[in-house]
């Protein structure tokens, strides 16, 4: 099941630095689905996706 924005934000609040694979595993989704879920949150400036080493990580913006 696809998580709501609130569920995704709650998960990110509990994990300071999380990569896309960890999000996919937690919600039992494919890795390719996660960027599509994060785009609306990025547009609202709630999260930031950065490259870190060989993977992408999601950082929660401080404003939350």
**Under CATH, which architecture does the 5-60 domain have?**
Orthogonal Bundle (1.10)
Q: Please report which helix (H) or strand (E) contains residue 60, including its range.
A: strand 55-60
- 45-57 pLDDT, tens digit each: 999 999 988 899 9
Alpha-carbon distance 16 to 34, whole Å? 17
> Which residue positions in the chain have pLDDT lower than 50?
none
pLDDT at residue 25, rounded to an integer: 97
Query: What SS3 state is found at 29?
Result: coil
Percent of the chain that is helix, strand, coil (3-state, to 5): 50, 20, 30
Model-level pTM greater than 0.85?
yes
pLDDT (0 to 100) of residue 33: 96
Write down the pLDDT at residue 17. 87
Q: What is the pLDDT of residue 14?
A: 94
Give the residue extent of every domain in the chain: 5-60
Buried b (16+ CB within 10 A) or exposed e, 1-20: eebeeeebbebbeeeeebbb
């Amino acid at each position: 099941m696809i998580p709501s924005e609130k569920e995704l934000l709650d998960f990110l609040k509990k994990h300071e630095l999380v990569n896309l694979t960890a999000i996919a595993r937690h919600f039992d989704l494919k890795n390719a689905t996660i960027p599509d879920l994060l785009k609306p949150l990025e547009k609202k400036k709630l999260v930031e996706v950065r490259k870190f080493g060989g993977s992408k990580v999601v950082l929660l913006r401080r404003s939350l």
